[in-house]
Amino acid sequence: MVSLNIYYIYPSKYMLQDRNGVESKKIQEYAKLAGKDVLEVGCGNGRVSVMIAPFVKSLIAIDPDEEQLNIARSKIPHVDFRHGSGEALEFPAESFDIVTFTFSLHHQDTARSVAEAHRVLRPFGLLLAIEPSVEGEVHRFFRAFRNEDRQIAAVIEALKSSKFECCRSETFGVDWSFHDVAELHSYFFDHFKKGTDSELVTVLNGLLGDKVENRPIELTEMVHITSLVKI
């Protein structure tokens, strides 16, 4: 069996995420991936795809950002990466055993995407939704650039009102580590494709508080995972 105790390195010298493999363990625990046909919606650069791919029968991963897809293809050439959105899936009804949204459901028309997932899932298929918690330490830094709290709350409501039956959910912590404050600044400005802004730098430093001089800077992101079944 492939070890889940792996961590993920972003395109920076030191920035590390989930060194203890907590996120990948939770995905495997909730989804029971072995032998399944899986669709990943919002795969980005393949960070979560690499957690899923070793265990499944087949994996198709879609994202609307071609630049991110090219990064994913270079890292995991055996996965079928395609351009697409959860709002209008190109697949026939009942094509998959599992559909997973990896930090992507709040970036699109949530109700429409959930309905599309229901359509392409086989009977008793599983929808796995992984979303940031608004209570997370790292989420405060994302909020400084773009406040998506309303969209994240809308995901919860859309799942509650969907045709799916909820199986289980929980919130867990994932560690993030930056070499120093300069690398933290670089990561967030690069992520949002934004030039360095002195006012935002001040905001980020304020959010760090006493940690601003730390090397490394250790933060915890809170992640919410929900599994739902198509009845």
Instruction: Check if the beta carbon of residue 106 is closer than 8 Å to that of residue 134.
Output: no
Residue 166 CA to residue 146 CA, distance in Å, equals 29
Using the structure block, give the residue that is written with the tokens 């980005």. 44
Per-run averaged pLDDT (10 residues), the chain, 231 residues = 35 75 96 97 96 97 97 96 98 99 93 97 98 96 97 94 95 97 96 94 98 98 97 90
Encoded tokens for 62: 């879609």
Encoded tokens for 170: 């929980």
Encoded tokens for 50: 């690499």
Residue 218 CA to residue 137 CA, distance in Å, equals 10
Residue 10, pLDDT score = 45
Residue 15, pLDDT score = 84
Nearest-5° Cα angle at 13, 143 to 49: 65
Q: Quote helix, strand, coil % in the chain, to nearest 5.
A: 40, 30, 35
Q: What is the DSSP letter of 76?
A: -
Residue ranges and CATH numbers for the domains of the chain are 20-172+220-229 (3.40.50.150)
Residue 13, pLDDT score = 53
HSE toward the beta carbon, residue 186, CA cutoff 13 A: 12
Residue 179 CA to residue 137 CA, distance in Å, equals 17
Residue 169, pLDDT score = 96
The widest CA-to-CA distance across the chain, in whole angstroms, is 53
Closest CA to 17 of 162, 132, 105: 132
pTM: 0.91
Residue 6, pLDDT score = 32
Instruction: Check if the beta carbon of residue 28 is closer than 8 Å to that of residue 4.
Output: yes
3-state secondary structure 163-186: CCEEEEEEEEEEEEEECCHHHHHH
